[in-house]
Amino acid sequence: MLNDSKLAIAILHEFFPIRARYLGRHLIESNKTVKVLEEWREQQLFKFIGLLSQNAEDLEQGYVENRITKVAWAARLRKRSNRYTRKDKAALILDLTARNRN
């Protein structure tokens, strides 16, 4: 289980926070030029990227601090989207690992 947890955290670190910040900035800069998205939608996406970054940080912090409630809350937020990406799978692995510890 420890290796699964380390893998899950490594997967989260592939995208969060550095690449996610870059994506958010790129979204705003590109939309200034192309104007594909309305301003409200651009801000919605930018804030969603920020929320996902915070969620990834909470998952890792909850795991490191061995706080199941924090890990479970972060994983629950991700499940609501009904889209299971590699990052979502990492969240689920962290959640299951934390449950098995207790």
Rounded Cα distance, 87 and 31, in Å: 26
> Which residues does 100 contact at the CB level (< 8 Å), separation at least 6?
1
Q: What percent of the chain has pLDDT over 90?
A: 34
Q: For position 15, what pLDDT does the model report?
A: 92
CB 77 within 8 A of CB 59: no
CB 71 within 8 A of CB 94: yes
Question: How many domains is the chain partitioned into structurally?
Answer: 1
Tens of pLDDT, residues 4-38: 888 888 888 999 999 999 999 999 999 999 999 99
23 alpha carbon, distance to own chain's centre? 13
Q: For position 72, what pLDDT does the model report?
A: 76
pTM here is: 0.66
End-to-end Cα separation, the chain, in angstroms: 13
Domain that holds residue 60: 2-101
